[in-house]
Structure 1
């Protein structure tokens, strides 16, 4: 069976703005700070890799999910400390120990 070559999908700035909800100036500021994928230059045109933007979005989703999980765990410890009278430090230590 012949191998299928998958070519990269390149997006315009307007595509990136629509996909991310970021403004043009925000995109370029984040590129400058290393927080956003840089474009590929094709002549004078700038194009963004769909794959890199997808990875960027997935990383932000994972970070959000981790933050929400940590907040839920903190809320649970606060509630347990409030209802049992135990110290939050002791409860955190127990959870870290497994």
Structure 2
């Protein structure tokens, strides 16, 4: 993955679309430390795209019996 993609910040609607979870489910998992926490962008928040993608890959691997 290139450096630009690694540093890309995405907002909640895109996070939700990528992982198939709603806002409440995402924030519950953040509270449980099972989902990447957002970073502060002034008054707003965003997620590092690579962290969200890795989380998704981990979920797929766990479901498929991978490591």
1:36 aligned counterpart, secondary structure: coil
1:30 aligns with 2:19: no
2:65 aligned counterpart, secondary structure: helix
Q: How many residues align?
A: 63
**RCO higher in 1 or 2 (8 Å CA, sep ≥ 6)?**
2
For 1:6, the equivalent position in structure 2 comes to: 3
1:58 aligns with 2:57: yes
Please, what is the CA RMSD of the aligned residues? 1.6
Give the helix-richer structure, 1 or 2. 1
Q: Which has the larger radius of gyration?
A: 1
- Flag structure 1 segments of 5+ consecutive residues without an equivalent: 68-98
- Flag structure 2 segments of 5+ consecutive residues without an equivalent: none
1:15 aligns with 2:17: no
2:16 aligned counterpart, secondary structure: helix
